[in-house]
Amino acid sequence: MNDDEKGLNDVTDRKAKAAVIGVGLIGEQHAESYFENPRAELVMVCDMNPERARAVGERFGVPWTADMDDVGKSEAEIVSVATPDHAHCSPVLAMLDAGKHIVVEKPLATVTEEALRMVNLANRKNLMMTVNLGNRWNPTYTNIRDSVQSGEIGNPVMTYSRTSDTIWVPRKMLSWAGRSGPQWFLFAHTMDLVRWIIGQEAHEVYAIGEKKILKSEGIDAYDAIQAMVRFDDSFATFETSWIVPEAFPHIVESLLTLNGSNGRIQLDGANGGFELSSDQVGKHMYARPSLWTYFKLPYTWWGALRNMVDCVLDGGEPAITAADGLRVVAMIEAMERSIETRQPVTIDSRLKA
């Protein structure tokens, strides 16, 4: 083997080194994605709970820490930040200062000003940052986008999107539900999907929301929200709820309708899988059995992580840009402001705040 061939193999065989900050329910799955990716090497996990950090580190056989500074000093090139929705800004800024490329669990932030700080610092440091919006790698949604972008329904006119969770999510799944809400946990996905599918930006939102049921249980989060959004050349209605009864045969309810000038697409996302009844478990559910006891997401969900690994190794820019994440944060924050003021709010005004 000559020196040129050896050098080519060295490049081909190189693995992108990755670490994860926040290895709870979703963060552990970030770690698993890097661990299983043949092009990546998981080098460290971090969690403010040392017992949790140790458990996940031992599971994958990698160093663990409760000190975020250790991650900044590590050999990791990519850092996933999978802390709770409201706690992304500080670790992202710290890791950008340490020279790391960043994958942020959705949403990028829950305050537009924080999202702007992250995006601006990444740009100044010439570092890549992406947001884990896993539905963009779901074949169903990529096919819907291809259909719309190829003109099969004509020009988009009106979109309807409803994605909700059972009340189990704020009651039991998320200890920090009162610091988030269905708007951040679910609209982050659906608002991004619609703007991506139709290829248009959102400009104005009018929304109504209610806090009663969850608030009575000590969870300061919206029970339900309805928002009307004006895009470049169409409009959309977004609905979400965190109070679907636990008896509902899904954890997540998902409906999408796109009406165009010459066609229509409709998706019942929740019923896309198989149906299973089990006397052993004592439930009947339209979902993967793993969802009965643990919120395990599918392989396609981690496309943003694999994409960042490929970008580090091969060059190029992430498929989901930091600007995408920023725009969605501004949409949701404008929606929150509209609920408070009972008036339409322009989305660009949040980006200038």
What is the CATH number for 256?
A: 3.30.360.10
183 Cβ contact list (under 8 Å, min separation 6):
209, 222, 225, 240, 332, 335, 336
Q: For tokens 């404008």, what's the residue?
A: 334
Query: pLDDT at position 12, please?
Result: 62
The CA distance from 215 to 227, in Å, is 21
For the chain, percent of residues with pLDDT exceeding 90: 83
CA-wise closest residue to 17 among 42, 44, 46 = 42
Per-residue tokens: 234: 């169409």
Q: Which two tokens stand for residue 335?
A: 């929606």
Contact predicate 332/86, CB 8 Å = no
Answer yes or no: is 249 within a domain: yes
Q: Is 101 exposed, middle or buried (0-12, 13-18, 19+ CB in 10 A)?
A: buried
pLDDT tens for each residue of 81-130? 999 999 999 999 999 999 999 999 999 999 999 999 999 999 999 999 99
Q: What is the pLDDT of residue 270?
A: 73
Asked whether residue 321 is assigned to any structural domain, the reply reads: no
**Residues 337 and 310 grouped into a single domain:** no
- Rounded CA-CA distance 35/27 in Å is 12
What is the rounded CA–CA span in Å between residue 274 and residue 3?
Answer: 53
pLDDT at 229: 98
- Average model confidence (pLDDT) for the chain? 92
Residues 143 and 270 in one domain: yes
**pLDDT average, residue stretch 149-178:** 95
Residue 293 lies in a domain: yes
Please give the span between the terminal C-alpha atoms of the chain, in angstroms, as a whole number: 59
User: Whole-angstrom Cα distance, residue 347 to residue 353?
Assistant: 10
Cis peptide before 107, with omega less than 30 degrees from 0? yes
Verify that 12 and 129 share a domain, yes or no. yes
Q: Are strands 235-241 and 101-105 parallel, antiparallel or unpaired?
A: unpaired
**CA dist., res. 344 & res. 353, Å (int):** 16
What's the distance, CA 270 to chain centroid? 18
Residues 166 and 289 in one domain: yes
Domain hosting 12: range is: 3-134+304-316
Cα 128 from Cα 122, distance rounded (Å)? 7
Q: Residue 72 sits in a domain of what CATH number? A: 3.40.50.720
**How does residue 166 score in pLDDT terms, banded at 50, 70 and 90?**
very high
Is the same domain home to 10 and 61? Answer: yes
Whether 191 and 47 map to the same domain: the answer is no
What SS3 state is found at 119?
Answer: helix
Note whether 72 and 182 are same-domain residues: no
Same domain, 183 and 202: yes
User: Considering its fold, how many domains does the chain have in total?
Assistant: 2
Are residues 149 and 215 located together in one domain of the fold? yes
On whether residue 322 sits in a domain, the answer given is no
Does residue 13 lie within any of the structural domains?
Answer: yes
Q: In the beta sheet, which residues pair with residue 310?
A: none
Contact 158, 236 (CB under 8 A): yes
pTM for the complete prediction? Answer: 0.90
**Claim to verify: residue 184 and residue 291 sit in the same structural domain:** yes
pLDDT of residue 251: 85
Average pLDDT over residues 165-193: 96
3-state helix, strand, coil in the chain (%, to 5): 45, 25, 30
Q: Quick check: is 104 in a domain?
A: yes
Q: Is residue 14 part of a domain?
A: yes
Residues 163 and 130 occupy one common structural domain: no
Note the pLDDT tens digit of each residue in 267-318: 988 776 556 555 665 555 555 444 545 567 889 999 999 999 999 999 999 9
Residue at 323 is within a domain: no
- Asked if 130 and 163 sit in the same domain, the reply is no
Q: 29 is written with which tokens?
A: 């799955």
